[in-house]
Structure 1
């Protein structure tokens, strides 16, 4: 056990060093970083503006007001941005497997998955986090939901759990590249499906809700946590929702390990 902990500490030290080097490489061209963040800011603000304009005349849709829907949108935006800060590099796994670039990670003295997680920095996620938190805060006040100490404690816990749901889904799909030649297309499909997490599940037929609660668990990203945040449920089981992320991450990591075990490089 002590040896394994030492290995993990060494892997984390190497991964964090790679992260610092990656971040410094971005700062070599600070103008690009500024433009990337400005682009993310424009996209986030324009998306919020279009969202509010589209719903301003509808009032209540399937039991959800504009303010409540904005809370869900803000929450999922932050959760997705948190996933981006650490797990964004997993999207490159299919290309690494096909090109043989994965070999570079396997020969280094650190856990290869941890290196992949920490070796890529997305510098514009902070804008999304700020915009998402701002939207969620303003919308919560406008929705009239009672935000007590329990809700304030639940929100950060649920955000971390939701980010891990994103992480589990994308890691599982990208790990299929060890078996599927065109897994990058499947990974991109799931990436596009992420937007479905911003819609209340009550908008969908029951069979779709069942799929989003099991096979592709987008419902656990924002919908179920926001039911509690908005006071739409008082079930004591809501505190189990953030556990969905860690629990889903376990089989995703196991799938990754099984793929690594059968990986034989490209031979080049």
Structure 2
């Protein structure tokens, strides 16, 4: 047990060092970082504005008011940004497998997955976190949701769990590249489908809601947690929702490890 903890601390130290070096490399060109942040801010604000304008044309959709839908959108935006903060590097796994770049991570004295997680720094992700948090706060106020003590405790726990749900889906899909060398398009498809989590599940037909609650668990990202946050359910089982992320992430890691075991590089 002590050896395992020591190995984890060593891997974490190396990974954090790689993160600092990566971040500093971005600061070599501060103008580009500034432009990227301005672009991200404009995109985030314009997306929120378009959503608000679209929804303001009606009283609601499938029983969800404008404020409730905005709260769901804000919540999922923050959850996705939290995933993006740590796990964005996993999207490069298919390219690493095809090109053989993965070899560089396997020969280093640290956990290769941890190195990949910290191999990329998104310098404008804080924009999404700020805009999503602001949208969530305003929407909850306008909706009249009761922000009791338990709800305030539940929100950060649910956000962490939802970020891990995103991480589990993307890691599982990218890990398939060990068997399907051309799965980059599948990974991009999941990336694009992330926006489906921003819609109330009642918007979808029954069969698609079943898919989003099981095979591609988008419902656990925002819809189920927001039912409790918005006062639409008082079931005590909602406190199990933050566990969905870790429970889904574990088999994704096992799939990754299985792929590593069969990985044979490119031979170049």
What's the TM-score once normalised by structure 2's chain length? 0.99
Distance in structure 1 (CA, Å) of the matches to 2:70 and 2:108 = 44
State the Cα distance separating 1:251 from its structure 2 match. Answer: 0.3
Runs (4+) of structure 1 exceeding 6 A deviation are: none
Shift in Å, 1:185: 0.6
The Cα shift of 1:206 comes to 1.1
Aligned to 1:251: 251
Unaligned runs of 5+ in 2: none
Distance 1:255 1:113 in 2: 12
TM-score of the superposed pair, with normalisation by structure 1: 0.99
Q: Tell me how far 1:181 sits from its aligned partner.
A: 1.8
How much has 1:2 moved relative to structure 2?
Answer: 1.1
Aligned to 1:36: 36
**Residues 117-128 of structure 1 correspond to what in structure 2 (within 5 A)?**
117-128=117-128
Q: What does residue 24 of structure 1 align with? A: 24
Superposition RMSD on alpha carbons, in Å?
A: 0.5
- Report the alpha carbon displacement of residue 179 of structure 1 after superposing the two structures with TM: 0.1
Q: Which residue of 1 aligns with 2:138?
A: 138
**1:17-66 CA distance string (max 9 Å, x none):** 00000000001111111111111100010001110111112112101000
Q: How does 1:140-159 map to 2 (within 5 A)?
A: 140-159=140-159
* Cα deviation digits, residues 173-223 of structure 1 (max 9, x gap): 000000002110100000010000000000011111111010000000000
What's the counterpart of residue 47 of structure 1?
47
In 1: Cα distance, 2:169 partner to 2:29 partner: 33
In structure 2, what is the Cα distance between the partners aligned to 1:261 and 1:89? 20
Aligned residue for 1:73?
73
Contact 2:97 2:181 in 1 (8 A): no
Matched, 1:183 2:183: yes
The corresponding residue for 1:170 is: 170
Question: What corresponds to 2:232 in structure 1?
Answer: 232
CA distance in 2 between partners of 1:213 and 1:246 (Å): 16
CA separation in 2, counterparts of 1:157 and 1:202?
Answer: 24
Aligned to 2:101: 101
Please list the CA deviations of residues 117-159 of structure 1 after superposition, one character each: whole Å capped at 9, or x if unmatched: 0111001100100000000000000001111111111000000
Task: Report SS of the residue matched to 2:34.
Answer: helix
Query: What corresponds to 1:192 in structure 2?
Result: 192
- Alpha-carbon separation, structure 1, partners of 2:89 and 2:136: 27
Determine helix, strand or coil for the equivalent of 1:61.
coil
CA distance in 2, matches of 1:243, 1:37: 33
